[in-house]
Amino acid sequence: MKHYSQWASRGLITVLILILTACSSTPESTGHQSSEQETEETTPVSGGTLDIAYPANPATLDPHLTTNQATRDVSRNIYEQLLTLNKNYEVVPQLAESYEISEDGKTYTFHLRQGVTFHNGKEMKAEDVVASMEKWLSTSTQGQANLQGAQFSEVDDYTVKLTLEKPSLVGSYILADTSPFPGIMPKEVIDTAGPEGVKEFIGTGPYKLEEWNTDQYVHLNKFLDYAGEETESNGLSGKKNAYLDEIYFRYVTDESTRVAGIMTGEYDVAFGIPFDNADQIEGTDGVSNYFSEGGIVTYVFNKKAGPFSDQKLRQAFNTALNYDEALTAAYSDSRFYELDSSLALTSQTDWYSDAGAEQYNVNDIEKAKQLVEESNYDGEEVVILTTRDYPEQYNLAVVAQEVLKSIGVNAKLDVYDWPTVQERRTDENNFDLFAVSFATRATIHQYPFLESSANYPGWTDSPEIDNLLGEIQAAASIEEAKPLVEQLNEKNWEYLPIIKLGNIQNLIAVRDNVKGFDDLVGPILWNVSLDE
């Protein structure tokens, strides 16, 4: 039996988690950086209201139902999970005080923290956890795929058991994932939920929902009876101090309004800041840029039909491509991206590998032309599907067109609005290539472009990649899986389901009186305070 406790040191947790354990939009060891943010130790001031300018209104605040960032960024303050991720994307307990995994890897036993109360005053117990996990599992494709045959059951008031049909190395990573995340809710709230989710948004988190005025704002209040962990804050784990009295997510869809508001002090934090405004933000007194990990950016090939179903032609395009030029065209300068060949981020220590890097950023036009000659390409037109709704995608499409022309491949842009792009890319006869970014996921397994069964547009069909993913999932530990992860990265650069251009960053503007702001696959607002 393997035992995992929230009180263990990070080193012990890491070693223990190796025995068992499981897809977007990058600086400190976590990849975070802020320019000119104060670093000296100060005593946080309690009280105050944090006003956030946010670009998109959530369709729901039920975290079980969607991968939408607008839902995730609000709901993580309301709900908590059995397991979560630290700043190195390692799995640690949260509402579970500890957990054990049987020697055969098929049974997880979670020992719940006692005295944790929901926002409605009810103590969290095993019946709430079982109901919450069953609800999440019913809608989670990642849970169903990686926790096969999962059954949650109540052992006693503070113990929950999960049984699986077969062990999964990535299982605990899926339980700790951030989107859609398995937030714990009261059983009675779940009992009244319909197909569109719960009707009341009640969790155990440091902030509770006060009001949701659709298309205008979400208003959160401090939860005075919050029962948090006592361990040091680390990523999404550890101590959560609700220093603020109130948080407002104000939905401001216009970019210029968000920029003007953060510069004048109308807002304390602003998301979705265009990279073109970075210098303007940095040159304004009282506000600074904050860069956070935004995931990976890629070109996705149609491998089911058309010219790029030929692996040689995919290799030719990759060989010709100058990654620096492509990323600069999309993101303007190197502050906003990082060249890196791995499927994982550098901060994802369990999954990172630079195997296959010799095929990354080759930028050899003559060699690429030779690969075109060796391919079956016969002058067909390559269709690059794109949108102007996301300028970085459009700019990457323009780069792809020019690169293909430079090696003798005819290429044209097919430009639509973003919803139409999403619709058209479901048909293999509509396109040959598109650019898109993927938000950071807890494991590399969750990127939909890798596994053939995911049926993601582009339609990867590689038995070798499928076998490696299966072998990694079946491994007994991360250490045992490491050589397989290396092979997976090698095979990715040989087969080329996608081209990973690099790691990208999100730009957030933060007023200088905001202290303690952090980010890990979305903003961390607990431990944030406001200077008087």
Dihedrals phi, psi of 158, to nearest 5 degrees: -125, 20
Dihedral sign for Cα atoms in the order 524, 526, 528, 530: positive
Nearest to 528 by CA among 269, 209, 205, 289: 269
Burial class (CB in 10 A: 0-12, 13-18, 19+), 39: exposed
What is the pLDDT, as a whole number, of residue 8?
42
CA distances to 306, 309, 344, 355, 463 from 460, rounded to whole Å, are 14, 10, 19, 20, 9
Span 2-22+24-249+512-530 CATH architecture: 3-Layer(aba) Sandwich (3.40)
Helix ranges (H only) for 271-338 are 278-282, 311-320, 323-331
Class at the top of the CATH hierarchy for domain 294-505? alpha beta
DSSP single-letter state for residue 454:
G
* Contact between residue 174 and residue 85 where contact means Cβ atoms under 8 Å apart: no
Tokens of 526: 């607990």
Point out which residues pair with 447 in neighbouring strands.
none
Radius of gyration of the chain (CA): 23
Q: What residue ranges in 64-173 does DSSP mark as E strands?
A: 83-85, 91-93, 96-101, 107-112, 151-156, 159-163
DSSP single-letter state for residue 389:
S
The helix/strand/coil state of 270 is strand
What is the pLDDT, as a whole number, of residue 410?
97
Strand pairing report for 382-387 and 433-438: parallel
CA 378 – CA 412 distance, rounded (Å):
16
Nearest to 382 by CA among 464, 313, 454, 436: 313
Nearest to 13 by CA among 114, 89, 80: 89
* Contact between residue 249 and residue 218 where contact means Cβ atoms under 8 Å apart: yes
CA 164 – CA 170 distance, rounded (Å):
13
Tokens of 116: 């944790």
12-41 pLDDT per residue, tens = 333 333 333 333 333 322 233 433 344 445
Q: What residue ranges in 309-451 does DSSP mark as E strands?
A: 337-338, 382-387, 411-416, 433-438
Nearest to 504 by CA among 365, 425, 385, 390: 390
Extents of the domains making up the chain: 2-22+24-249+512-530, 294-505
224-270 pLDDT per residue, tens = 999 999 999 999 999 999 999 999 999 998 999 999 999 999 999 99
* Contact between residue 355 and residue 489 where contact means Cβ atoms under 8 Å apart: yes
Tokens of 204: 């155990």
What is the pLDDT, as a whole number, of residue 371?
98
Over its length of 532 residues, how does the chain's per-residue pLDDT go in tens digits? 656 654 343 343 333 333 333 333 333 222 334 333 444 456 898 999 999 999 988 889 999 998 888 899 999 999 999 999 999 899 999 999 999 999 888 999 999 999 999 999 999 999 999 999 999 999 888 788 788 899 999 999 999 999 999 888 889 999 999 988 999 999 999 999 988 899 999 999 999 999 999 989 999 999 999 999 999 999 999 999 999 999 999 999 899 999 999 999 999 999 989 888 999 999 999 999 999 988 999 999 999 999 999 999 999 999 999 999 999 999 988 889 999 999 999 888 889 999 999 999 999 999 999 999 999 999 999 999 999 888 899 999 999 999 999 999 999 999 999 889 989 999 999 999 999 998 888 888 888 899 888 889 999 999 999 999 989 988 888 899 999 999 999 999 999 999 999 999 989 999 999 999 999 999 999 999 999 6
CA distances to 237, 245, 364 from 223, rounded to whole Å, are 18, 9, 58
CA 360 to chain centre: 23
